[in-house]
Structure 1
Amino acid sequence: MTSTIRPSSVFLVSGGAKGITRECVIRIAQRHQCKFILLGRSAIVESEPDWAKDCFEESGLKKHIMEHLLSQGEKPTPMCVQKVFKKISSSREINNTLSRIKQAGGRAEYVSVDVTDALAVKEKVAPAVKRLGSITGVIHGAGNLADKLIEKKTEQDFETVYAAKVKGLENTLSYVDLNYLEYLVLFSSTAGFYGNIGQTDYAIANEILNKSAHLVKQKYPDCHVVAINWGPWESGMVSPELKKAFQERNIGIIPMEVGAQMLVNELDAANHTTAQVVVASPATPPARELDSKLRTYRIHRQLKLEDNPFFMDHVIAGYPVLPATCAMSWIINTCENLYPGYRLFSCTNFKVLKGIIFNEDLADEYILDLQEDSKNNDFNEITFSAKIWHKNLAKKNQYNFSGEFKLLREISPAPTYDFAKTPDGNKINENREVLIPNWEDNNFYQNGVGMLFHGLSFQGVKRFLTFGKERFTAECCWQGIEAKQQGQFPVQWFNPYAVDLSTHPLGIWLQHFYQESALPAQLDKYEQFARIPCNKDFYVSGKIKSKTDINLIVDFVIHDLEGKVFVRLFGSKFVRWFY
């Protein structure tokens, strides 16, 4: 069954008369001219006193409130004035919502009720349902905040936050027949997905909404169910102090009109198999002040094929082999996790000392040793020395990889690379792509030739724009793989799969000009200015620096079509591989 919103559709909306939920409801009304039952705790002032009418400035209205209180013989304390002001302004906001829905062609009724009170919900919603019709959709947008560090939270804080989300959902759903419900939209938060400082209760409540969406979707597959994990909006429950904190952490604020339209798009989507959607940039904890103490760390890791399915896409001479880029990612991700808010900028003198092969020599565990070499608050940078090693069969230390890594709080703007766009060195077709002999239809992975032994997790060379004896430019696209496939080596700021892919054009170059193959051995310097895109074309330009009978040294630049640099690799050394 495919559900569509009709003018006869009726949405029960908690928290729907004010804030961000209101903007979403109004946008739905503009799109579908349907009906709404809006639930909220605030009461509507049926008739404003004469002294408040036509007074819309906050200062002017508060002045009239004080005068009225004085005329009644009451003392106009700030608390009393604010209470009356909030009651009047809240009522006006609700009436404005109802008016805008009507102007959009929809119809709405407002019900003043606490969604955490099951009996009140049942009693007060019933008359509205009789007038508007049976409920076909639910939008649960109600919520409260009580942000405090966990050691300062009270039971009442937790109950206030938890109840609005969880009990509110339970009470709302208990009133509708899920067998006939067409839409269930839960306003969750990235706090439930990523976590957030001071919002333990809020994170718990929202994660329950996320899991509830999955459960309802499993049991009622025909219902369009989605928990939208919103990031912070321009309005809503984001205070100026919280907005500043978000800006310091590079978390984007969702504009009201953009977020409302995203909800409409989600409701209109024909394919609604996904029960949870995250609408935000990843939440990065604020970088803390660096102390002067230089620390050391030791991390132990077991490597198993069943935990890392992508290993089977990196098989050399019959054995799965850990890519050097994955060794880099283990080091980089560990460093970034130690210092949230900092990202890798460069890696120097990275060496492959002994590859990790899944054969009889595979160790029981591998060890990453990190040494902090320097920390500088003036430049917001940290440098590490790293080694990955294991105990060999003789119980002696055997080193596998080593290098130096620099993390920065702020990455410099990406430079521009001026690369050649004119094909050279071979025949070209009407699309101006180089046609390379021995690769039918430029299918570079068809026979696992030379360096291109890679399976789907790493594939992505599409075509060459230039292909000469000293340099080349290839168009690539990494399609991405599931998190389960990535195993212990997840894509974060550094993408080990796309970086490995970026060396594949060299394998094609080597096979074409010299009928040789090579494996990575050393890297003088790696620099990263931006993430390498996923499911989007990027370009790899290589320049041959030197070649001998033993090794080959190449510089790579990974960039977009305009030349914006994502990553640069200087002095990439490869050694001949005989197979």
Structure 2
Amino acid sequence: MSKKARINSSSVFLVSGGAKGITRECVLKIAQQYQCKFILLGRSLLQVEPNWVKDYFDELELKKRITEYFLSLGEKPTPKTVQKLSNSISSSREIKKTLSSIESSGGQAEYISVDITDAIALQEKLVVAVQKLGTIAGIIHGAGNLADKLIENKSEQDFETVYAAKVKGLENLLSCVDISQLDYLVMFSSIAGFYGNSGQTDYAIANEILNKSAYLVKKNYPKCHVISINWGPWEIGMVTTELKNIFQERNIDIIPIRVGTQLLVEELNTVQNETVQVVIGKPILPTVSKLKPELKTYRIHRKLTLAANPFLQDHVIAGYPVLPTTCAMAWIANSCEQLYPGYKFFNFTNFLILKGIIFNENMANEYILELQETGKTNSEIEFDAKIISKNQSNKAPCYYHYTTKIKLLKQIPISPNYNKFNLTQTQVNNDFYQNGQGILFHGPCFQGVKRVLNINLQEITVECLWQGIEEKQQGNFQTQTFNPYTTDIQIHCVLIWLEHFYQQICLPAQVQKLEQFAEIPINEKFYVTAEIKYKTETCIISDIKIHNLQGQVYSYMYGTNGTIISKEKLKLIK
């Protein structure tokens, strides 16, 4: 059960970055709510304002007066020197305004000019403020720096500047207090740390460390109210007018000051909080930049283990976990999308299953996804893709597991409509799974077929619903644009058809083409219709559609080729 907040007029908060920007607005809201005390930390100097600028507040007027001042001294003003002094005067004014506003709200505040990455200077300067205001009850870590660049353009100094303010700053702040006596620890993280954002690798890393640090502190000091808030972009602070316009064009919500500050107060209002990390804002989707014409080659290495991929325990064939073919598809599709943010998977052509990946004693040490760009325009990108494996020993053979061609599009075509959708129901035993002992061997992670609507020698239609699984179960194969779990369910209807009419089973061998027009919904009914095109003693070929009740097609597999295999032979596969 929650308890009333312990903040009162005697509470002292140590606040980094607290005299300006977003943190300033949050401090003012807390001061209005509780009339408490603050030690504000910032790098800016709090200077005595010269008499000759006291009546100049407009930015242009201020710069004009500074220029006149330099000229009166016989010095030649440069844009850089004028801007520097203008910034310094404006910064001091903002700090003074913050201190005055806190006092007007009934609170009390001290400002310390210090770099929080300098632990010695921070500890020395805090002594006097603590003696004056009292023991620190809470920390609000709002300081941060930006150095947005694509990773290939970042310098070590860029990384250090961004990383140190967040991570070293937190470490130094905590070193100045007895954490066991701390009532509050509030960290201002960012959605860049949760979702990622182009050009902000260092910022994302630093903020994600804050998130994980919050969990660690909460675990070791459960009585402390710990919260890491992953803010989206605010209407002030590091978000410039130009950036606001870009966000609006990309349909990204901006957090109003009134809303953001109220959310913080509400988070502080309950002491016995169970939630350590709060995300406030949508992911910042990357813009699509103009493509460079040269065709590139990529080699992406991955180690596969059962421990890292719990879902594999629900895909066991002949006693061994086997990587579903659809997971190999997801591996390729998701990797290509990550190389080109803003482009989405559209199709595979001639997807060949050459050697399945079986989790047994013969597994390779690592697997390699090789991608070769074969065509690239501003509307589409095409790759040749293959997944191979090679053991550490140079004598070990190199195995080819999967090969295909893949296409990404900037704009996916409108979904076609399937007009032949048959709702006529046939009486069929719908107990397909039977805990992995039925027609379908799949465990809960892959169980989505709910009932057969109709079945004949030409086609089968089934009703499906996939409830989703937790991210930790998905391991290396997370659901993104391409969902390997629902796509695997798409193939189940062929297995049901084959068992129903011929008491046979098959393993996937080839998909001539797979097109995806829309993401397959989770926790909503969808339908799969398979048209049987060809059947012999050794193979079965079908076209398979996933669609909704209205016939809108989500995904279409053309020429799905399964190799028919005896159940006795299946038991011998390793």
Please classify the TM superposition score into its range, dividing by the shorter chain length.
0.7 to 0.9
Q: Which residue of 2 aligns with 1:15?
A: 17
Q: Which residue of 1 aligns with 2:255?
A: 255
Q: Which residue of 1 aligns with 2:557?
A: 569
User: What is the CA-CA distance between 1:181 and the residue it aligns to?
Assistant: 1.6
Q: Which residue of 2 aligns with 1:475?
A: 465
Residues 514, 557 of structure 2: 8 Å contact kept: yes
Residues 3, 224 of structure 1: 8 Å contact kept: no
User: What is the CA-CA distance between 1:109 and the residue it aligns to?
Assistant: 1.9
User: What is the CA-CA distance between 1:377 and the residue it aligns to?
Assistant: 3.0
- After TM superposition, list the pairs within 5 Å mapping 1:342-421 onto structure 2: 342-358=343-359, 362=362, 364=364, 370=370, 372=372, 374-386=374-386, 388=388, 400-408=401-409, 410-412=410-412, 415=415
State which of 546, 566, 571 in structure 1 corresponds to 2:532.
Answer: 546
Residues 4 and 277 of structure 1: CA distance in aligned 2, closer, same or farther (over 3 Å): farther
Residues 277 and 65 of structure 1: CA distance in aligned 2, closer, same or farther (over 3 Å): same
Residues 457 and 282 of structure 1: CA distance in aligned 2, closer, same or farther (over 3 Å): farther
- After TM superposition, list the pairs within 5 Å mapping 1:128-527 onto structure 2: 129-130=133-134, 134-145=135-146, 153=155, 161=162, 163-189=164-190, 206=207, 209-210=210-211, 212-230=213-231, 233-238=234-239, 252=252, 254-257=254-257, 260=261, 263-264=264-265, 266-267=267-268, 271-272=273-274, 274=276, 281=283, 289-293=291-295, 295=297, 304-336=305-337, 342-358=343-359, 362=362, 364=364, 370=370, 372=372, 374-386=374-386, 388=388, 400-408=401-409, 410-412=410-412, 415=415, 425=425, 438-439=430-431, 445-448=433-436, 450-460=438-448, 467-469=453-455, 471-482=461-472, 485-504=473-492, 519-527=507-515
Residues 19, 94 of structure 2: 8 Å contact kept: yes
User: What is the CA-CA distance between 1:454 and the residue it aligns to?
Assistant: 2.0
Q: Which residue of 2 aligns with 1:125?
A: 129
Q: Which residue of 1 aligns with 2:546?
A: 557
What is the CA–CA distance in structure 2 between the aligned matches of 1:18 and 1:566, rounded to whole Å?
A: 49
What is the CA–CA distance in structure 2 between the aligned matches of 1:19 and 1:371, rounded to whole Å?
A: 45
What is the CA–CA distance in structure 2 between the aligned matches of 1:26 and 1:530, rounded to whole Å?
A: 46
Amino acid at match of 2:20: K
Instruction: Compute the TM-score of the two structures, normalised by the length of structure 2.
Output: 0.74
Deviation per CA, 1:473-497: give whole Å up to 9, x if none: 4333212330xx4444444543323
Amino acid at match of 2:170: L
Residues 232, 238 of structure 1: 8 Å contact kept: yes
Residues 310 and 47 of structure 1: CA distance in aligned 2, closer, same or farther (over 3 Å): same
Q: Which residue of 2 aligns with 1:24?
A: 26
Deviation per CA, 1:112-140: give whole Å up to 9, x if none: 3214422443234225524xxx4332111
Amino acid at match of 1:415: S
What is the CA–CA distance in structure 2 between the aligned matches of 1:372 and 1:135, rounded to whole Å?
A: 58
Deviation per CA, 1:1-60: give whole Å up to 9, x if none: 96653451543221122112223334555776765443334455778959644x653223
What is the CA–CA distance in structure 2 between the aligned matches of 1:144 and 1:367, rounded to whole Å?
A: 38
Residues 90 and 24 of structure 1: CA distance in aligned 2, closer, same or farther (over 3 Å): same
Deviation per CA, 1:395-415: give whole Å up to 9, x if none: 98875433221134x233653
What is the CA–CA distance in structure 2 between the aligned matches of 1:98 and 1:488, rounded to whole Å?
A: 50
User: What is the CA-CA distance between 1:165 and the residue it aligns to?
Assistant: 3.4
SS at match of 2:468: coil
Residues 386 and 124 of structure 1: CA distance in aligned 2, closer, same or farther (over 3 Å): same
343-352 vs 263-272, which deviates more?
263-272
State which of 39, 42, 52 in structure 2 corresponds to 1:40.
Answer: 42
Residues 185, 225 of structure 1: 8 Å contact kept: yes
Structure 1 unaligned spans of 5+: 428-435
What is the CA–CA distance in structure 1 between the aligned matches of 2:43 and 2:516, rounded to whole Å?
A: 50
Residues 562 and 308 of structure 1: CA distance in aligned 2, closer, same or farther (over 3 Å): same
301-310 vs 561-570, which deviates more?
561-570
Residues 112 and 538 of structure 1: CA distance in aligned 2, closer, same or farther (over 3 Å): same
Q: Which residue of 1 aligns with 2:59?
A: 58
User: What is the CA-CA distance between 1:384 and the residue it aligns to?
Assistant: 1.4
What is the CA–CA distance in structure 1 between the aligned matches of 2:363 and 2:136, rounded to whole Å?
A: 61
Residues 526, 570 of structure 1: 8 Å contact kept: yes
Residues 544, 557 of structure 2: 8 Å contact kept: yes
User: What is the CA-CA distance between 1:323 and the residue it aligns to?
Assistant: 0.7
Instruction: Compute the TM-score of the two structures, normalised by the length of structure 1.
Output: 0.73
What is the CA–CA distance in structure 1 between the aligned matches of 2:353 and 2:372, rounded to whole Å?
A: 21
Structure 2 unaligned spans of 5+: 568-574
- Number of residue pairs aligned between Structure 1 and Structure 2: 548
Q: Which residue of 2 aligns with 1:111?
A: 111
Percent identity among equivalent residues? 48
SS at match of 1:82: helix
User: What is the CA-CA distance between 1:220 and the residue it aligns to?
Assistant: 1.0
SS at match of 1:457: helix
SS at match of 2:181: coil
User: What is the CA-CA distance between 1:319 and the residue it aligns to?
Assistant: 2.8
Residues 420 and 223 of structure 1: CA distance in aligned 2, closer, same or farther (over 3 Å): farther
- After superposition, the CA RMSD in angstroms is 5.0
Residues 164 and 480 of structure 1: CA distance in aligned 2, closer, same or farther (over 3 Å): closer
SS at match of 1:185: strand
Q: Which residue of 1 aligns with 2:570?
A: none
What is the CA–CA distance in structure 2 between the aligned matches of 1:165 and 1:23, rounded to whole Å?
A: 19
Q: Which residue of 1 aligns with 2:83?
A: 82
What is the CA–CA distance in structure 2 between the aligned matches of 1:529 and 1:146, rounded to whole Å?
A: 38
